[in-house]
Chains A and B, each alone.
Chain A
Amino acid sequence: MKFIDEFRDKEIAQGLIQRIRAISSRPIQLMEVCGTHTVAFFRYGIRGMLPAHVRLISGPGCPVCVTPNRDIDLAVALSRRKGLIIAIFGDMMRVPGSTSSLQKEKAEGGDIRIITSSLEALQIARENPGKEVVFFAIGFETTSPTIAVALLQSKREHIRNLYFLNSQKRIPSTIRTLLQAERIQIDGFILPGHVSTIIGSEPYQFISSEFNLPAVITGFEPLDILQGVWMLARQIEEKRASLEIQYKRVVHEKGNPVAISKIDEAFERDGALWRGLGWIPDSGYGFREALKDRDARNLEVEVEPSKEHPGCLCGEILQGIKAPTDCSLFKRGCSPENPIGPCMVSLEGTCATYFKYL
């Protein structure tokens, strides 16, 4: 396929690997904050190709993994309400909450429907005017404009029975929080290409200007990733700290202004609760005043007190402090078939990726 195959060329890849070997002289740790990158590193064998002193660590890179139990428990409680339909992206089905999951609730008779686009949630609401429909709206900035379009459309069409359980997250403030915590040595960031197609490069400027670290917005094909790693290694060797764009074919400084305006029309910036990271100011979205009547959190329902599995290290894995192999449950009770924590459920979760490829 065009724009994919040419970025998988093996000969060019070999040349880039030699380039990285030639320029990188000392141990470095690069963090990626996107689960799609985590998977690509393993799938294309990039970890094995890089010099041993170039370490890749995974951050909080998957919206499924960072959704706190509190929100999953609320979705579970809502799914037990009579005549209520939950619309959900497939990955969220199996994530265990405190005592149940939406998959279990579906088996018990809950009306839970997997969707692949926010517009399908709208359609379900149109087709079921007598029922309440709750769209479990998770995602980073890549997905947020699509959620905003559905929310604005529901208002325009006067669809009164569609509610949004909003658990969206924003990436830049979370990177700031990770850096401020200083719990892990990071020498550079491989920034998420698709989040950046929406928000552009500007929101990451602080990484170089305030924290003096190099960062490169990187695509997802093997050549993209190798070029991104090379650009970071070069900056580190040259003792520079700049924000650069590798993925220029779809990432521009200003992002996608139409998408940003949709987000702004529907939501205002707000703090958000992250699994493992806690409450992070300015890392999520709240509803604009005129849309607050569509907030699923207004629906009255009794929710169980949330609790985490005591042995699960997802919280630390999401911060890059621990690797899946540090967890006593990894492959010993926790597997993709029987996941204990969300990082083992999501297709792009760090634990699921390690399980599949290690």
Chain B
Amino acid sequence: MCLSIPARIVQIENNTAKAEVGGLLREISIDLCPEVAVGEYVLIHAGFAIQRVDEKEAGETLELLKQLAEAI
């Protein structure tokens, strides 16, 4: 029920955006993420963008994971 998936914003018109998920375009509300820009990734849940995905943090997490896995 709390499932959310990352999607890339490709077009914004007022408080609605088109977002790409696995090659498909979906129309979503950006009422909860009004600052989002085209090209950014957001988490979508129940037809809404609920949070922007921070690419820098994602990269840092992955880097840490790689280090953890290698050092053992």
Contacts and interface: CB of A to CB of B under 8 A. Distances in A.
B48 A62 contact: no
A167 interface: no
Interface in B1-35: 1-6, 8, 21-22, 29, 31-34
Given A149-B32, A259-B32, A36 B3 contact: yes
Interface string A235-249: 000000000001011
A16 B46 contact: no
Range, interface on chain B? 35 or more
Contacts, number: 139
A138 to B, nearest CB: 8
B45 A91 contact: no
A348 B6 CA distance: 19
Contact of B1 (A7, A64, A249, A262): A64
Interface stretch (A140-148, A267-275, A282-290): A140-148
> Taking chain A's interface residues, is the majority helix, strand, or loop, or is none over half, making it mixed?
helix
A197 B48 CA distance: 13
A22 B71 CA distance: 12
Contact of B50 (A12, A119, A192, A256): A256
B62 interface: yes
B51 A250 contact: yes
Interface of A: 1-4, 6-7, 11-16, 18-19, 22, 34-36, 62-64, 89, 91, 116-120, 138-140, 142-143, 145-146, 149, 192, 194-195, 197-198, 223, 227, 230, 246, 248-251, 256, 258-259, 262, 346, 348
Given A19-B72, A230-B68, 11 more contacts: A2-B6, A22-B72, A89-B1, A120-B47, A143-B46, A146-B29, A149-B31, A194-B43, A227-B68, A256-B33, A256-B50
